[in-house]
Structure 1
Amino acid sequence: MKLKFSARKLAFGVVAFSLSGTVLASDFTAPEMTANQPGFNAAANAAMYAGRGMIGVVTYGNYHIRGVDANGQNVPSDLTLQVLLGTLHYNTDLKLFGGHYSFGATLVSGGLYPGGSERDMNDRLLDVSRNPWVTPIKLNWTLGEDWHIAANYTFRLGQTAGNTNTDKTYDIHQLGGQATWNINDHWQANFASSLEYRTKDLRTGRDMKPGTIGYFEGSLHHKFDNGMSLGGYAYHVRHLTDDKGLNDLGQQLGRYRSQLTGVGLEYTTPIEAIDSTLSVRLFTEPSRTNHMHGVRAFISVARKF
């Protein structure tokens, strides 16, 4: 059993924007935290079906952030986004359109923490997300002996009363696809792409409309005979449409789109004592436009029941 079977929903993220030189109010958009975290969707065995049963995953994530925030202000140099995620995902024997059907959900807790503080930047604890991420449908297909593909739909409902930095005040809908190519007994390539659509701000009197985001990811892993794997990973995230309306400070959105490119490593190993799999991912983000950046680290433990 490998982590990635449910990792599509295991995620958190910040998309905010930075621009060197003169800062204009319209250069920046509102930040978001999404379940479509870069660095998960093309992980080892991304599209492979794990067989019937329940899969549980616990993930800790830490994102040390640099750059400027959504309003063009420099963020504290010691700011980190920390989260704890719990996912349950059930694989069935049912087939739809020739693919194995599965479904699941993820709960997220955590926040944006200045260094040395026990409370997040909104002076609250464990307040990244109140509503769960839900995947009502995921389908996995096997093509021949070497190729596996998967597709999924995931959503999260927004809050009509909340803070856009933590409790997202718009609904999010995601369509995603993954592919795994077992090149030979020791090498595997994984690919993923997803589209994220956000609705208009649900709060009364607000007209903010976040843009649509595209995610493009790939990895190449070497598999060892003892069950371990080590691989390189790359992702690219970009705005496909402009943000619109006004943010919470009354600033006009939509002048600039953002993009972000990250590279990193993934290491996986079986933990035989508890019949689980450990996954460690580490990424840096050397290329960006109008976007926060930093170092992302994830530690996940997954078990099939």
Structure 2
Amino acid sequence: MSNFIDYVKIHCKSGRGGPGSMYMRREKYIPKGGPAGGDGGRGGHIILRGNKQLWTLLPLKYRKHIKATHGDPGGKNESSGKDGQDVIVDVPLGTIAKDAETGDFLFEISEEGEERIIMEGGKGGLGNVHFKTSVNQTPRYAQPGIPEREGWIILELKVLADVGLVGFPNAGKSTLLSVLSAAKPEIANYPFTTLTPNLGIVEYRDYKSFIMADIPGIIEGASEGKGLGLRFLRHIERNSLLLFIIAADSDDIKKEYEVLYNELEKFNPDLLDKPKLLAISKSDMLDDELKAEIAKDLPDVPNLFISSVAQQGLVELKDLIWKYLQ
């Protein structure tokens, strides 16, 4: 089973606020002791926190119910009840929270240590000391605490990478990633080998590096949810640069590029504002004459011919990527 989990549904329940106290002072030197009830404590929040050490939502797959504790009741002599304990849930950067019932987007965690309350604890009730007036010197009333909140939340993960590899299944994306980085994606000669995004760190000159993500292959109709479509298109949103990979033995490179381009446009037109590069993979089977012939009919984006297996054009590819990332 894969350890890469990019979607979970969890049930969150915050703590309720403690009730305020209705205490009256009883000291023997104060015959008419007034109100002295303290406030109730706040119920515990449930908080999501960004953690850059994490790269999957797997820990939450087995932790479906998350519950905070209640606030304590207010005490005598205006002493406040203790707040309920907050529960902090660590998630990878790029995690999106949505309301499971409505599907509404709530927020996104994108920075290390960033904390957002996903389910707010109830406020503690006010003690009777707050309700003393000139007319009513001994109020025998205190507020109850505000109830807890609960509900189902969907968490989705978008992979953060500098370069997203976009291409049909079997275009050579996994092979390229394995050659350029230390990533070990599963590679085989059939569509949909890559069922989860693979991340690799590509080392560049002078100890610089960038992160490349092999996003699973897009098929025509992915934006309508065909194949494994939408889940994978989500990851492409987080990439700074899109590197289209089309195999040299494709029947029509330009048409294949247009299909990929249209799928991205249907899913999210903003994606197309990102820099785009085109690499023609498996080019070791082409001679210079054939390359010149193919180049005449390529789409109008910066492009180059590469071969991961024969290690051709890879240094130039890294140079081109670095230029656009800067």
State the TM bucket, normalised to the shorter chain.
under 0.3
In the superposition, the TM-score normalised over structure 1's length comes to 0.22
Greater RCO (Cα-Cα under 8 Å, separation 6 or more)? 1
In the superposition, the TM-score normalised over structure 2's length comes to 0.21
Larger Rg: 2
* Greater helix share, structure number: 2
* Greater strand share, structure number: 1
